[in-house]
Amino acid sequence: MDSGDEQLFAEQREKFGRIARLIDEATEIVICAHTDPDGDALGSGLALEQIISQHWEGKHVTSLLADDAPVPRLYRFLPGADCFVRASDYAGTPDLFIVVDLSVAPRLNRAQAVLERSAHVAIMDHHPCTAPFGDVALIRPDAAAAGVIIAEFGLFLGAHITPEIANCLFCAIVTDTGRFQYQNADSEAFECASMLVDAGASPSMISLNVYQSFRLAYLHLESVVMGRIVTFDHGRIAYSYATRNDLERTGARPDECDGLIDVVRSVEGSEVALFLKELPDGRVRGNLRSKGKHDISGVARLLGGGGHKAAAGFTSEDGIDATLATVLPQLQAVLHAADEGRDVVPTNPQMKLELGKGV
Ligand code: 5GP
Ligand code: MN
């Protein structure tokens, strides 16, 4: 551990102490992660709920879902997943609202109203954030997953990490690191994972549920998306998409599509990847990934989204073609700026690509 790490951990310990004091003083506590929850959002929130419930007596802890949609099918195996309450069905007035795996309030969707009537707010997140809110904001963009922070909070408290908590946290870390394959898979993530396996987490059970339990309908959609992958800019940019019609034809559901960006990013030689999915209401959801040094979060922000340097997302009101025409030149600009040693991302939304030319 170098001195930078030590300072970071001292800061984390100080914030853990403040969050623990907020929990001491609260009775009604809610925990909520971001809209369109992924394995980290769900696993971290459920683990935190269980840590608080068993470490403190007399707390009433509720895990909220930001959206009205149910828990995505692949994550329903998580211990406690059947106890989520939809934020729009929650009528309480919390003493403490703990925001997990996000730090921009609009990403709380329906839970924003609950946040506004909460007496205190704490954030435990790993997304880069320029305007943190709440009484305590523990935001560590260097942490591979929110699950890493929650695991360390458990250790800080001296809480008993049960096999159920360990499975929730292992799922959080394995999914946010892309099965320990992405650039964020650092020694801290491996150390946490090791501690969680010692505490009873089952990596094979989690892999079976998250990576080997796809419905055939989804796999048929994956083959459509795979067959449609295009590379661009000498193979450095790979992209593909799924239309509403593809989903209808194959019978796949929008909440099953999280892994499709991984299919696109697997192209040899590609440096950045884009996957677009047309939503039932006609909007387009975009996933962006960088496989190396490039920071694609600025492109996501330009489209009204956000995320990390290497993994970001956005939602566009335009159709698939128009979104491609906006995003592809922006990605190209990121690569070219890096080639020329510039790190400023050009942000000219007028810059459009004439599809069919140069693709
Ligand atoms: P994904 O592409 O898997 O949906 O998201 C990749 C990362 O970017 C995740 O950490 C996710 O929380 C973040 N992200 C995705 N979409 C948005 C968005 O619209 N706004 C912000 N601020 N972050 C996003
Ligand atoms: Mn996360």
Q: What is the pTM of this model?
A: 0.93
Answer yes or no: is the C-beta of 201 below 6 A from any ligand 1 atom.
no
Which residue type does 177 have? T
Answer yes or no: is the C-beta of 305 below 6 A from any ligand 1 atom.
yes
Ligand 1, atom 7, lies closest to the CA of: 312
Answer yes or no: is the C-beta of 312 below 6 A from any ligand 1 atom.
yes
Domain 3-210 has CATH 3.40.190.10: no
Q: How confident is the model over 232-288, as pLDDT tens digits?
A: 999 999 999 999 999 999 999 988 999 999 999 999 999 999 999 999 999 999 999
Distances (CA, A) of 105 to 32, 35, 67, 94, 253: 11, 10, 13, 16, 27
Ligand 1 atom closest to 297 (CA): 8
What's the pLDDT score for residue 352? 43
Ligand nearest to the CA of 103: 1
Ligand 1, atom 21, lies closest to the CA of: 306
Q: Ligand 1 centre and the CA of 305: distance in Å? A: 7
Q: Where are the domains of the chain?
A: 3-210, 216-339
Answer yes or no: is the C-beta of 35 below 6 A from any ligand 1 atom.
no
Distance CA 102, CA 96 (A): 16
How many other CB atoms sit within 10 Å of the CB of residue 171?
33
Ligand 1, atom 13, lies closest to the CA of: 307
CATH architecture of 216-339: Roll (3.10)
Which residue did the predictor score with more confidence, 95 or 344? 95
Asked if residue 346 has pLDDT above 60, the reply is: no
